[in-house]
Amino acid sequence: MVEWKTSKEPVCYEEALAQMDERVADIRDGRADELVWLLEHHSLYTAGTSAKDSDLIASEFPVYKTGRGGQYTYHGPGQRVAYAMLNLKDRQKVPDIRKYVHQLEEWIILTLSEFNITGERRDGRIGIWVVTPAGEKKIAALGVRVRHWITLHGVSINVSPDLSHFEGIVPCGILKYGVTSFDDLGVEVSMDELDEALKKCWNKIF
């Protein structure tokens, strides 16, 4: 059984990491159910295990090194972050991280379709992309970590963040393509509406 938790106020990144660590330990020991945590962060950059120093252009916000996969990304107000703590041993006959990442991508794509946004995968480019008149742009990012076959971190979807804040980094190491959001695409949606769509689409994938 998956528990859903929603934080209405921005969560400190260090606090989120500590809470994820504690929950993963509890799931492993059978003291707690799996969890999907929906939240926002204060403006910050995170560096995944593949991050290159040269991709940090301007550190106007705090920078956190984290154990998730991937490179640099931005989190901030107006962006829905979904951290998923799932037991892959219980969910898959043979635990498969690639399959899990594919499921997260499909979850985002289905959720976007609820708002008539066509999200797509791209070979060699992590994240979910949309085609705009100005070219392909990323609307959602993914970054996961697995400990004892229990997942941490998850996805982030741009609803109405200040897109200029992405200019301080090379998002996910990809310089050629830009970043977009629901707001940038002219789609008005509240966090509550997005959360409902995320929950609706979850069971179709997981």
Mode of pairing for the β-strands spanning 150-158 and 135-147: antiparallel
Mode of pairing for the β-strands spanning 178-179 and 120-122: unpaired
Distance CA 80, CA 77 (A): 8
Neighbours of 137 (CB within 10 A): 19
Catalytic residue check, 12: no
Place of tokens 């560096």: 47
Q: Residue 106 in contact with residue 205, Cβ under 8 Å?
A: yes
| Alpha helix (H) residue ranges in the chain | 13-28, 88-91, 97-113, 191-205
Selecting among 38, 157, 172, 198, the annotated active-site residue is 172
DSSP-assigned beta bridge partners for residue 28 = none
Distance CA 100, CA 206 (A): 9
Annotated catalytic sites, by residue?
Answer: 172
